[in-house]
Amino acid sequence: MLRRIRDRFVAIAGFASVVTVGALIPVREARSAEQKSDATSPFAVVLGTAQDGGLPQIGGRAPEDEAARRDPKRGRLVASLLVVDPVSKERFLIDATPDLPRQVDLADEVAPRSPSSARPPLFDAIALTHAHVGHYAGLIHLGREAYGAAGQRVLASDRMARFLETNGPWDLLVKAKHVAIERIVPDAAVKLNARLTLTPIAVPHRDEYSDTFGFIVAGPARKLLWLPDIDKWEKWDRRVEDVIASVDVAYVDGTFFDGDELPGRAMSEVPHPFITESMARFTSLPARERSKIVFVHLNHTNAAAAPDSKARRAVERVGMRIARDGERAGL
Ligand SMILES: [Zn+2]
Ligand SMILES: [Zn+2]
Protein backbone atom coordinates (compact mmCIF):
# COMPACT_ATOMS: atom_id res chain seq x y z
CA MET A 1 0.00 0.00 0.00
CA LEU A 2 2.76 2.38 1.02
CA ARG A 3 4.62 1.59 -2.17
CA ARG A 4 1.49 2.37 -4.16
CA ILE A 5 1.04 5.69 -2.43
CA ARG A 6 4.69 6.50 -2.87
CA ASP A 7 4.74 5.55 -6.54
CA ARG A 8 1.73 7.75 -7.10
CA PHE A 9 3.36 10.56 -5.22
CA VAL A 10 6.62 10.22 -7.09
CA ALA A 11 4.73 10.11 -10.35
CA ILE A 12 2.91 13.30 -9.51
CA ALA A 13 5.76 15.08 -7.92
CA GLY A 14 8.82 14.11 -9.82
CA PHE A 15 10.56 13.62 -6.50
CA ALA A 16 13.80 12.93 -8.25
CA SER A 17 14.29 16.59 -9.00
CA VAL A 18 16.10 18.65 -6.42
CA VAL A 19 13.89 21.70 -6.51
CA THR A 20 10.68 21.71 -8.47
CA VAL A 21 9.37 25.04 -7.36
CA GLY A 22 9.05 27.73 -9.98
CA ALA A 23 8.40 25.50 -12.97
CA LEU A 24 7.68 28.58 -15.01
CA ILE A 25 10.56 30.67 -13.78
CA PRO A 26 12.87 31.32 -16.71
CA VAL A 27 15.38 28.48 -16.92
CA ARG A 28 18.36 30.60 -15.87
CA GLU A 29 16.60 31.78 -12.69
CA ALA A 30 15.31 28.31 -11.88
CA ARG A 31 18.85 26.94 -12.22
CA SER A 32 20.25 29.54 -9.88
CA ALA A 33 17.53 28.66 -7.34
CA GLU A 34 18.58 25.02 -7.61
CA GLN A 35 22.23 25.89 -7.28
CA LYS A 36 21.52 27.68 -4.02
CA SER A 37 20.06 24.45 -2.63
CA ASP A 38 22.21 21.49 -1.78
CA ALA A 39 21.71 18.34 0.23
CA THR A 40 22.15 20.26 3.48
CA SER A 41 19.67 23.06 2.74
CA PRO A 42 16.31 23.08 4.48
CA PHE A 43 13.37 22.58 2.16
CA ALA A 44 9.57 22.38 2.11
CA VAL A 45 7.48 19.65 0.49
CA VAL A 46 3.85 20.21 -0.44
CA LEU A 47 2.12 17.12 1.02
CA GLY A 48 -1.29 18.04 -0.34
CA THR A 49 -2.93 20.63 -2.55
CA ALA A 50 -6.68 20.00 -2.24
CA GLN A 51 -9.35 21.94 -0.36
CA ASP A 52 -10.50 20.39 2.93
CA GLY A 53 -12.61 17.69 1.23
CA GLY A 54 -9.74 16.29 -0.88
CA LEU A 55 -9.89 14.97 -4.44
CA PRO A 56 -11.88 12.95 -5.25
CA GLN A 57 -14.29 14.42 -2.72
CA ILE A 58 -16.92 12.28 -0.97
CA GLY A 59 -19.97 12.08 -3.22
CA GLY A 60 -18.28 14.42 -5.69
CA ARG A 61 -19.48 14.22 -9.27
CA ALA A 62 -17.37 16.99 -10.79
CA PRO A 63 -15.28 15.97 -13.83
CA GLU A 64 -12.07 15.97 -11.79
CA ASP A 65 -13.68 13.73 -9.11
CA GLU A 66 -14.49 11.16 -11.79
CA ALA A 67 -11.08 11.55 -13.40
CA ALA A 68 -9.34 11.03 -10.05
CA ARG A 69 -11.41 7.89 -9.38
CA ARG A 70 -10.42 6.48 -12.76
CA ASP A 71 -6.78 7.52 -12.40
CA PRO A 72 -5.49 7.90 -8.82
CA LYS A 73 -2.58 9.97 -10.13
CA ARG A 74 -5.13 12.74 -10.64
CA GLY A 75 -6.07 12.64 -6.94
CA ARG A 76 -4.93 15.33 -4.50
CA LEU A 77 -4.42 15.05 -0.76
CA VAL A 78 -5.68 17.85 1.49
CA ALA A 79 -3.42 20.89 1.61
CA SER A 80 -0.49 20.69 4.00
CA LEU A 81 3.18 21.58 4.02
CA LEU A 82 6.17 19.67 5.37
CA VAL A 83 9.28 21.64 6.38
CA VAL A 84 12.52 19.68 6.69
CA ASP A 85 16.00 20.46 7.98
CA PRO A 86 18.15 17.65 6.61
CA VAL A 87 21.09 18.53 8.86
CA SER A 88 19.28 18.44 12.20
CA LYS A 89 16.90 15.80 10.79
CA GLU A 90 13.98 17.79 12.20
CA ARG A 91 10.70 17.97 10.37
CA PHE A 92 7.71 20.25 10.90
CA LEU A 93 4.18 20.14 9.56
CA ILE A 94 1.69 22.86 8.76
CA ASP A 95 -1.85 21.53 9.29
CA ALA A 96 -3.04 18.10 10.37
CA THR A 97 -5.40 17.10 7.58
CA PRO A 98 -7.84 14.17 7.35
CA ASP A 99 -5.14 12.64 5.08
CA LEU A 100 -2.56 12.74 7.89
CA PRO A 101 -1.81 8.98 7.95
CA ARG A 102 -0.82 9.00 4.28
CA GLN A 103 1.03 12.28 4.67
CA VAL A 104 3.11 10.84 7.53
CA ASP A 105 4.09 7.98 5.21
CA LEU A 106 5.13 10.51 2.59
CA ALA A 107 7.07 12.52 5.17
CA ASP A 108 8.88 9.31 6.16
CA GLU A 109 9.92 8.86 2.55
CA VAL A 110 11.56 12.27 2.21
CA ALA A 111 12.58 12.88 5.83
CA PRO A 112 12.76 9.63 7.82
CA ARG A 113 12.73 9.80 11.62
CA SER A 114 15.57 8.23 13.52
CA PRO A 115 14.09 5.10 15.15
CA SER A 116 14.95 6.26 18.66
CA SER A 117 11.87 4.81 20.27
CA ALA A 118 8.96 2.65 19.26
CA ARG A 119 6.72 5.65 18.72
CA PRO A 120 8.85 8.72 18.10
CA PRO A 121 7.12 12.11 17.83
CA LEU A 122 5.73 12.30 14.31
CA PHE A 123 6.91 15.88 13.81
CA ASP A 124 9.04 18.29 15.81
CA ALA A 125 5.99 20.54 15.71
CA ILE A 126 2.63 20.72 13.97
CA ALA A 127 1.44 24.29 13.32
CA LEU A 128 -2.26 24.81 12.69
CA THR A 129 -3.83 27.46 10.47
CA HIS A 130 -7.44 27.19 11.72
CA ALA A 131 -10.35 25.05 12.91
CA HIS A 132 -11.84 23.96 9.61
CA VAL A 133 -11.94 20.20 9.10
CA GLY A 134 -9.22 20.01 6.45
CA HIS A 135 -6.69 21.73 8.68
CA TYR A 136 -6.86 20.11 12.12
CA ALA A 137 -9.10 17.00 12.04
CA GLY A 138 -6.06 14.78 11.40
CA LEU A 139 -5.11 15.33 15.05
CA ILE A 140 -7.68 12.61 15.80
CA HIS A 141 -5.06 10.05 14.74
CA LEU A 142 -2.75 11.11 17.59
CA GLY A 143 -5.04 9.76 20.34
CA ARG A 144 -5.09 6.44 22.14
CA GLU A 145 -7.22 4.76 19.46
CA ALA A 146 -4.45 5.23 16.89
CA TYR A 147 -0.87 6.53 17.25
CA GLY A 148 -1.06 7.45 20.93
CA ALA A 149 1.44 10.28 20.54
CA ALA A 150 3.44 11.35 23.58
CA GLY A 151 3.35 15.12 23.87
CA GLN A 152 3.24 15.99 20.18
CA ARG A 153 4.11 19.69 20.06
CA VAL A 154 1.26 21.66 18.45
CA LEU A 155 1.53 25.38 17.65
CA ALA A 156 -1.78 27.23 17.53
CA SER A 157 -3.39 30.59 18.14
CA ASP A 158 -4.96 31.20 21.54
CA ARG A 159 -8.47 30.77 20.12
CA MET A 160 -7.56 27.59 18.24
CA ALA A 161 -5.90 26.22 21.38
CA ARG A 162 -8.97 26.99 23.50
CA PHE A 163 -11.19 25.30 20.93
CA LEU A 164 -9.12 22.11 21.20
CA GLU A 165 -8.89 22.30 24.98
CA THR A 166 -12.59 22.78 25.59
CA ASN A 167 -14.31 20.60 22.96
CA GLY A 168 -14.50 16.84 22.69
CA PRO A 169 -12.94 14.74 21.33
CA TRP A 170 -9.94 17.10 21.10
CA ASP A 171 -9.85 17.88 24.82
CA LEU A 172 -8.99 14.24 25.48
CA LEU A 173 -5.82 14.64 23.39
CA VAL A 174 -4.85 17.53 25.64
CA LYS A 175 -5.82 15.90 28.97
CA ALA A 176 -4.06 12.64 28.12
CA LYS A 177 -1.01 14.66 26.98
CA HIS A 178 -1.02 13.22 23.48
CA VAL A 179 -0.55 16.81 22.33
CA ALA A 180 1.22 19.70 24.03
CA ILE A 181 -0.16 22.97 22.73
CA GLU A 182 1.95 26.12 22.54
CA ARG A 183 0.26 29.46 21.88
CA ILE A 184 1.60 31.47 18.97
CA VAL A 185 0.64 35.03 18.10
CA PRO A 186 0.43 36.93 14.80
CA ASP A 187 3.64 38.55 13.52
CA ALA A 188 5.81 36.96 16.22
CA ALA A 189 8.36 34.66 14.60
CA VAL A 190 8.68 31.23 16.17
CA LYS A 191 12.21 29.87 16.02
CA LEU A 192 11.76 26.28 14.85
CA ASN A 193 15.48 25.64 15.10
CA ALA A 194 18.78 27.42 14.39
CA ARG A 195 17.97 27.80 10.67
CA LEU A 196 14.18 27.94 10.38
CA THR A 197 11.52 30.34 11.61
CA LEU A 198 7.75 30.28 11.28
CA THR A 199 5.78 33.52 11.45
CA PRO A 200 1.98 33.42 11.77
CA ILE A 201 0.02 36.13 9.98
CA ALA A 202 -3.65 36.73 10.76
CA VAL A 203 -6.04 36.55 7.80
CA PRO A 204 -9.79 37.13 7.51
CA HIS A 205 -11.72 33.88 7.10
CA ARG A 206 -14.98 32.32 8.29
CA ASP A 207 -13.84 32.15 11.89
CA GLU A 208 -16.61 30.06 13.49
CA TYR A 209 -14.39 28.20 15.96
CA SER A 210 -10.99 29.82 15.64
CA ASP A 211 -9.20 32.69 14.00
CA THR A 212 -7.10 31.92 10.93
CA PHE A 213 -3.38 32.11 10.23
CA GLY A 214 -1.25 32.00 7.15
CA PHE A 215 2.44 31.28 7.73
CA ILE A 216 5.74 32.60 6.47
CA VAL A 217 8.45 29.95 6.66
CA ALA A 218 11.97 31.36 6.49
CA GLY A 219 15.15 29.38 5.93
CA PRO A 220 18.73 30.55 5.50
CA ALA A 221 18.27 31.30 1.79
CA ARG A 222 14.58 31.66 0.98
CA LYS A 223 11.16 32.48 2.39
CA LEU A 224 7.84 30.86 1.60
CA LEU A 225 4.24 31.98 2.18
CA TRP A 226 1.63 29.30 2.97
CA LEU A 227 -1.85 30.80 2.80
CA PRO A 228 -4.46 28.16 1.94
CA ASP A 229 -7.58 29.98 3.16
CA ILE A 230 -8.61 33.65 3.09
CA ASP A 231 -12.02 35.21 2.43
CA LYS A 232 -11.09 37.87 -0.13
CA TRP A 233 -7.89 39.85 -0.72
CA GLU A 234 -9.80 43.12 -0.21
CA LYS A 235 -10.84 42.12 3.32
CA TRP A 236 -7.24 41.77 4.49
CA ASP A 237 -5.70 44.59 6.49
CA ARG A 238 -2.51 44.30 4.45
CA ARG A 239 -1.77 44.30 0.75
CA VAL A 240 -1.19 40.78 -0.48
CA GLU A 241 1.26 42.22 -3.02
CA ASP A 242 3.49 43.42 -0.16
CA VAL A 243 3.43 39.97 1.39
CA ILE A 244 4.31 38.35 -1.95
CA ALA A 245 7.17 40.84 -2.36
CA SER A 246 8.57 39.75 1.01
CA VAL A 247 8.90 36.05 0.04
CA ASP A 248 10.42 33.91 -2.71
CA VAL A 249 7.44 31.65 -3.29
CA ALA A 250 3.81 32.32 -2.37
CA TYR A 251 1.34 29.45 -2.03
CA VAL A 252 -2.01 31.22 -1.98
CA ASP A 253 -5.70 30.35 -1.79
CA GLY A 254 -6.78 28.88 -5.13
CA THR A 255 -9.93 27.15 -3.85
CA PHE A 256 -12.23 28.15 -6.70
CA PHE A 257 -11.34 29.02 -10.27
CA ASP A 258 -14.35 31.31 -10.77
CA GLY A 259 -17.82 32.13 -9.49
CA ASP A 260 -19.76 29.44 -11.35
CA GLU A 261 -18.48 26.40 -9.57
CA LEU A 262 -21.08 25.47 -6.99
CA PRO A 263 -24.46 25.16 -8.67
CA GLY A 264 -27.19 25.18 -6.04
CA ARG A 265 -24.98 26.77 -3.37
CA ALA A 266 -24.43 30.44 -2.65
CA MET A 267 -20.74 31.09 -3.12
CA SER A 268 -21.03 34.03 -0.73
CA GLU A 269 -21.31 31.41 2.05
CA VAL A 270 -17.82 30.22 1.26
CA PRO A 271 -15.89 33.33 0.21
CA HIS A 272 -12.45 32.90 -1.32
CA PRO A 273 -10.54 34.98 -3.87
CA PHE A 274 -11.40 33.24 -7.14
CA ILE A 275 -8.31 32.41 -9.18
CA THR A 276 -9.75 34.61 -11.94
CA GLU A 277 -9.89 37.53 -9.48
CA SER A 278 -6.35 36.89 -8.30
CA MET A 279 -5.08 36.67 -11.88
CA ALA A 280 -6.72 40.00 -12.67
CA ARG A 281 -5.36 41.59 -9.51
CA PHE A 282 -1.80 40.30 -9.96
CA THR A 283 -1.55 40.72 -13.70
CA SER A 284 0.06 44.15 -13.40
CA LEU A 285 2.85 42.83 -11.16
CA PRO A 286 6.29 42.37 -12.72
CA ALA A 287 6.93 38.88 -14.16
CA ARG A 288 9.30 38.07 -11.31
CA GLU A 289 6.55 38.67 -8.74
CA ARG A 290 3.95 36.76 -10.74
CA SER A 291 6.29 33.76 -11.01
CA LYS A 292 6.21 33.41 -7.21
CA ILE A 293 2.45 32.83 -7.15
CA VAL A 294 1.30 29.22 -6.80
CA PHE A 295 -2.37 28.39 -6.25
CA VAL A 296 -3.10 25.73 -3.65
CA HIS A 297 -6.12 24.35 -1.68
CA LEU A 298 -8.05 23.53 -4.88
CA ASN A 299 -11.70 22.56 -4.53
CA HIS A 300 -12.77 19.38 -6.32
CA THR A 301 -14.80 21.54 -8.69
CA ASN A 302 -11.82 23.70 -9.69
CA ALA A 303 -11.28 23.39 -13.45
CA ALA A 304 -7.61 24.35 -13.09
CA ALA A 305 -7.01 21.14 -11.09
CA ALA A 306 -7.16 19.24 -14.37
CA PRO A 307 -3.92 19.03 -16.32
CA ASP A 308 -4.18 20.52 -19.82
CA SER A 309 -7.42 22.31 -18.96
CA LYS A 310 -8.20 25.70 -20.45
CA ALA A 311 -8.31 27.06 -16.90
CA ARG A 312 -4.84 25.68 -16.11
CA ARG A 313 -3.42 27.16 -19.30
CA ALA A 314 -4.96 30.54 -18.51
CA VAL A 315 -3.14 30.57 -15.15
CA GLU A 316 0.16 29.58 -16.73
CA ARG A 317 -0.18 32.14 -19.53
CA VAL A 318 -0.05 34.94 -16.96
CA GLY A 319 3.08 33.50 -15.35
CA MET A 320 1.51 31.87 -12.28
CA ARG A 321 0.89 28.19 -11.68
CA ILE A 322 -1.11 25.48 -9.91
CA ALA A 323 0.57 23.58 -7.05
CA ARG A 324 1.33 19.89 -7.45
CA ASP A 325 1.30 17.31 -4.66
CA GLY A 326 4.88 16.52 -3.75
CA GLU A 327 6.60 19.60 -5.14
CA ARG A 328 9.55 20.97 -3.23
CA ALA A 329 10.76 24.45 -2.48
CA GLY A 330 14.25 25.15 -1.21
CA LEU A 331 14.52 27.31 1.89
ZN1 LIG B 1 -9.49 24.95 4.01
ZN1 LIG C 1 -11.12 27.28 6.12
Higher pLDDT, 24 or 36: 36
Instruction: Return the CATH number at 299.
Output: 3.60.15.10
pLDDT of amino acid 38? 80
227 Cα to the center of ligand 2, angstroms: 10
pLDDT of amino acid 199? 98
Identify the weakest region by mean pLDDT among 114-118, 227-231, 284-288: 114-118
User: How many angstroms separate the CA atoms of 193 and 73, rounded?
Assistant: 35
Q: Residue 249, exposed/middle/buried by CB under 10 A (0-12, 13-18, 19+)?
A: buried
Structural domain boundaries enclosing 121? 2-329
247 Cα to the center of ligand 2, angstroms: 23
- Given a contact cutoff of 8 angstroms between Cβ atoms, the answer to whether 270 and 288 are in contact is no
Distance of CA 181 to the CA centre of its chain: 20
pLDDT per position as a tens digit, 183-235 = 999 999 999 999 999 999 999 999 999 999 999 999 999 999 999 999 999 99
pLDDT of amino acid 121? 86
Is the pLDDT confidence value at 21 over 80?
A: no
208 Cα to the center of ligand 2, angstroms: 10
Is the pLDDT confidence value at 164 over 80?
A: yes
Buried b (16+ CB within 10 A) or exposed e, 70-108: eeeebbbbbbbbbbbbeeeebbbbbbbbbbbebbbebbe
78 Cα to the center of ligand 1, angstroms: 8
Is the pLDDT confidence value at 283 over 80?
A: yes
- What 3-state DSSP class applies to 249? strand
- Tell me how many domains the chain contains: 1
Residue spans of alpha helices (H) in 116-269: 133-136, 158-166, 170-175, 240-245
Q: For residues 19-44, give the mean pLDDT.
A: 56
Q: For residues 161-174, give the mean pLDDT.
A: 98
- Given a contact cutoff of 8 angstroms between Cβ atoms, the answer to whether 33 and 288 are in contact is no
251 Cα to the center of ligand 1, angstroms: 13
Higher pLDDT, 260 or 183: 183
Q: Nearest ligand, CA of residue 231?
A: 2
Name the percent of the chain lying above pLDDT 70.
89
